Structure 1
């Protein structure tokens, strides 16, 4: 039985900065409908690889394919239109709009309807209903009319996830979605990410290994810009080289 084509694939991806090779000949295959985690000790090249995959950096060499098409030369807005959307590590919501308005802006962007406020009330009410459903889904139903600037850090990240989902991506790329969150927000966000699996594909960079263990179908471990290991959490956590990479990082 032939292997199913991955939704996202990197082939020989390399990026050097002034002679320093941050990512070296990385091959990565993300299967459709799965949660795939990128992990590694500090300085492993996770952020650089993530920026390459999402086109915020250009590779020194190598190629990136999304749904079988070469996207290596495309800009971030183009890959977003094709169904691959990145959620940022640093919250990227509009602080002076309320939560509902933030999500509605994203819905308008998905519909390429920048001037939706000129549209009929019925058109706007359909966006309002969808925005309300998305806010409920991420646990922000009660905060719909609070300005984003007044939300806690964890709630801002939840709002960012809602705006990401509003774009209806096939592939969601999450950059440390649990960073800075308390236990309650981590649990809620993990449940939300888990609920995405199947209908969407998730690729995430995450430091919280408990979350990675619970959520991930496949884990790719990076060390010094190269793939050290790949497999299930049980497989990679039992790998002596992975254990050494993490233990070594504590003493670095």
Structure 2
């Protein structure tokens, strides 16, 4: 019989909630995300997706409940401690150093992953050794030909690809992607969708995504939130046909959190 509390689930939320004053932005949310799967959180504006995501990544501390990563309760840990345990978040707003080259951005991420603080007086040899791995990561995300370009000069889609490369530099077991296609034109959405599928090999991915076409293409399972609570969970065909989900999206409420 499968062990439902340990290795079968990379990430679990057990009744998590977040209260702001008298308002519950998220309440009694339960999630079980199987190892190696892609799981999406969706919902209309104000459903609590961002708050739930912030709780999972420990950007916010939960008011109630537990968050379990690889069988370990991480509810009381800081974001940096969670990252050391293999769960890393990629933010909606691209978190790259615009004035650095593409290669330098990935090298800095690798320095962080190897516990080497960025020092201007460090010997060149101490960081050049990371270039091989940095170039491998750039090749993985389709930026092999752009290593000398300034990050600021990249297209929006390529900036997101670079952000994914810097996230991969931390060698995460669990990646949480916040609106990975937000603000993209149609020409960038498909390459980024394919990239997410590619880097999901051997990893668990959780995404918050508004583009339901992307969700339908990528997701193994989907959790639908409404008013801070789980409305339903299922496959895309199950979710998209559910009358409660259709009503929630058609009804749309103001986005509070």
Q: 1:232 aligns with which of 220, 235, 239?
A: 235
Q: Distance in 2 between matches of 1:94 and 1:251?
A: 33
Structure 1 position 118, deviation (Å): 3.0
Corresponding residue of 2:180:
177
1:120-143 CA distances to partner (integer Å, 9 max, x unpaired)?
Answer: 73x544411111121122122222
Structure 1 position 145, deviation (Å): 1.2
TM alignment of 1:10-159, pairs within 5 A: 10-114=13-117, 118-119=122-123, 121=125, 124-159=127-162
In structure 2, stretches of 5+ residues that fail to align are none
Q: Distance in 2 between matches of 1:130 and 1:93?
A: 18
Structure 1 position 115, deviation (Å): 5.1
TM-score between both structures, scaled by the size of structure 1: 0.94
Q: Distance in 2 between matches of 1:176 and 1:196?
A: 16
C-alpha RMSD over aligned residues: 1.8
Corresponding residue of 1:2:
2
Q: 1:208 to 1:28 in 2, by over 3 A?
A: same
Check the 8 A contact 2:172/2:203 in 1, yes or no.
yes
Instruction: Please give the secondary structure, in 1, of the residue aligned with 2:36.
Output: coil
Check the 8 A contact 1:138/1:158 in 2, yes or no.
yes
TM-score between both structures, scaled by the size of structure 2: 0.92
Q: Distance in 1 between matches of 2:118 and 2:140?
A: 26
For structure 1, which segment, 240-249 or 38-47, has the greater mean C-alpha deviation from structure 2 after superposition?
240-249
In structure 1, stretches of 5+ residues that fail to align are none
Q: 1:231 to 1:3 in 2, by over 3 A?
A: farther
Structure 1 position 245, deviation (Å): 0.7
User: When the two structures are aligned, how many residues end up with a matched partner?
Assistant: 251
Q: 1:173 to 1:251 in 2, by over 3 A?
A: closer
Q: 1:227 to 1:249 in 2, by over 3 A?
A: same
Check the 8 A contact 2:42/2:49 in 1, yes or no.
yes
